[in-house]
Structure 1
Amino acid sequence: MKLTLKMAVLSVAGTLAYLALAIFGRGGVAAFFAHPQLAATAAVLIALGVAALFTEGNISSGEREDRSNRWVLGVFGVLGLLMGYLPAYADRIDFWTFGGEGVRWLGVALFAAGGALRLWPVFVLGRRFSGLVAIQRDHKLVTTGIYGLIRNPSYLGLLINSVGWSLAFRSGVGLILTALLVPPLIARIRSEETLLRSQFGAQYDAYRARTWRLLPGIY
């Protein structure tokens, strides 16, 4: 089963809205695409949006959900809107920007790499990947592949992707917004780990003991 029509519409609408915010912040279509790096960033964004259409990610509450963590979604939504617009706007007015064209290209590379890492676990988990903190039907603990090293690769991908977006606009504001993603991400990780431990018990404890939470060798 592939992405539902509802999720497909949300994915397409979200991708286009995010790009539209950046174009508006940068001062219009001509101003945005005048930079080949920003054109490349837009192409990567669209490619990631298309790839997402072939996943089974969902927003199902499954068999059991930690509803107390839903506040994180609101924070992500607000930060996402700000991230879409402010780095581009700051770039346009040259507010708190740094570096040159090389920094922009580095941003494109990180944006693509982070986006790929963000989507990879969605393909691996299939319908078990939900936007909510929930245990899905026939939920199984995946401990191989990228999950054999870190327990939350999709969140690491989100952070790398956000850093890349910020650098594509040479934006210090974008890096601050990326840093603001960390507290709600940690809250969500803790909520997920508590739920998984309650579901899988000693199996999850053993898995957690041999892997990193987010950054290999650090966290």
Structure 2
Amino acid sequence: MLTPAIRLLLVVGGTVLYLALAIIAYGGIAAFFSQPALVALAAIVVLLSVAGYLAGGNVSPGEREDRGNRWVLIAFGILLLLDVFLPPWADSRDVWTLDGDTIRWIGVALFAAGGAVRLWPVYVLGDRFSGLVAIQKGHRLVTGGIYGVIRHPSYLGMLVNSLGWALAFRSIFGVLLTAALLVPLHARIEAEERLLVSQFGTEYDAYRRRTSRLVPRLY
């Protein structure tokens, strides 16, 4: 389990790095903050970081972990770095961009909504929410609320959040990077569901039959 001090350091450091890379890619502070939509985007990044710190969660392997799935974390990390840097870089140079400030504001709204959906399960599960594919101490199956409709709301939030970031910079590159997230995300979901079936058996099988993974009636 991470101590509150270490979690705070990681959240603050990660937020500063995230915004710094985007600002550098865009051409500097003056250029970045000359765009009202990007000012709003930066404010939302900070607010989501604060909310994420307060939500809890951990990166503990718990009582049992699928270690073979850790490669997904590397894939997520590489795609995240590309996603942070490439859309603002392309936007500032008008390379593979979509037209109009409306696109930017749609992106800001999706970024905020996706971030909220991503954090919602962390608030529901608290420290039982792990960055690893693992069974935590006192793990129980949660099937109410948003989990009564989709089984992996946090991953849906990740996709919407990523798409929002791409559109805030009008970036076709960013949209393609969001699509690329589907590959490691599918592998992660498969690994999680195998582990949960092994832990909860027929209870989880019944839960799977009445819910969708990410999008009701589609997936």
Q: TM-score range by the shorter chain?
A: over 0.9
Is 1:184 aligned with 2:184? Answer: yes
- Provide the residue aligned with 1:12 in structure 2: 12
Uncovered stretches (5+) of structure 1, i.e. residues with no partner? none
Q: Check 1:112–1:3 CA distance in 2 against 1; reply closer, same or farther (3 A cut).
A: farther
Is 1:75 aligned with 2:75? Answer: yes
Paired letter, 2:202: A
2-structure distance, mates of 1:53, 1:36: 26
Structure 1 stretches of 4+ with a deviation exceeding 6 A read: none
2-structure distance, mates of 1:217, 1:91: 35
Q: How does 1:55-66 map to 2 (within 5 A)?
A: 55-66=55-66
- Provide the residue aligned with 2:48 in structure 1: 48
Paired letter, 2:203: Q
TM-score (norm 2): 0.98
- Is residue 72–residue 188 contact of structure 1 (8 Å, CA) maintained in 2? yes
- Provide the residue aligned with 2:134 in structure 1: 134
Alignment partner of 2:58: what SS?
A: coil
- Is residue 66–residue 195 contact of structure 1 (8 Å, CA) maintained in 2? yes
Question: Alpha-carbon deviations, 1:192-215, whole Å to 9, x = none?
Answer: 000000000010000000000111
Question: Alpha-carbon deviations, 1:39-64, whole Å to 9, x = none?
Answer: 00000000000111111211000000
Alignment partner of 1:54: what SS?
A: helix
- Provide the residue aligned with 1:26 in structure 2: 26
- Is residue 44–residue 112 contact of structure 2 (8 Å, CA) maintained in 1? yes
Paired letter, 2:168: A
Please, what is the CA RMSD of the aligned residues? 1.2
Paired letter, 1:36: P
Alignment partner of 2:46: what SS?
A: helix
Q: How does 1:99-118 map to 2 (within 5 A)?
A: 99-118=99-118
Offset of residue 2 of structure 1: 9.7
Uncovered stretches (5+) of structure 2, i.e. residues with no partner? none
Offset of residue 136 of structure 1: 0.2
How many residue pairs match? The answer is 219
Give the percent of matched residue pairs that are identical in Structure 1 and Structure 2.
Answer: 62
Question: Alpha-carbon deviations, 1:144-200, whole Å to 9, x = none?
Answer: 000000000000000000000000000000001111110000000000000000000
- Is residue 150–residue 216 contact of structure 1 (8 Å, CA) maintained in 2? yes
Alignment partner of 1:204: what SS?
A: helix
